[in-house]
Amino acid sequence: MSFSRHQKIKKTRVDHICFGCMRKIPIGSAAHYHVGVFEGDFCADYFCNSCWNFLEVYPDYFEDGFYFGDIIEAKNEMERNKEIKNYIQGEEQWLYC
Ligand SMILES: [Zn+2]
């Protein structure tokens, strides 16, 4: 059995650490709180807006679940892929002009 519940917090009352990017969510910031059971393990974690948006935009990216800091890793990987793609496209333009 698994369940998942999400709550948007307008202003945090204490500092939290974002589960996605490991950065501090300072007191008074907007955040997202998620509780759920994944593969039998209970989890209750805070996420910053940026990481939560990433999860909503790319749900397939984490089909098999994710761990502490995985979202920032995924963002960095996408950024690198974009740079490589831009570089390759740049090379192609150079080759064909
Ligand atoms: Zn985050």
Which domains, ranges and CATH numbers included, belong to the chain? Answer: 4-95 (3.30.1740)
pLDDT band at 80 (very low <50, low <70, confident <90, very high): very high
In this prediction, what percent of the chain has a pLDDT beyond 90?
66
The rounded Å distance from CA 22 to ligand 1 centre is 6
Query: Rounded to two decimals, what is the model's pTM?
Result: 0.81
Nearest to 48 by CA among 73, 12, 77, 74: 12
pLDDT at 60: 87
The rounded Å distance from CA 47 to ligand 1 centre is 5
The rounded Å distance from CA 63 to ligand 1 centre is 18
In this prediction, what percent of the chain has a pLDDT beyond 70?
94
Residue range 15-21: mean pLDDT, rounded: 98
Name, in order, each residue with C-beta under 8 angstroms of 44's C-beta and a sequence gap of 6 or more: 33, 34, 35
The rounded Å distance from CA 53 to ligand 1 centre is 9
pLDDT at 47: 97
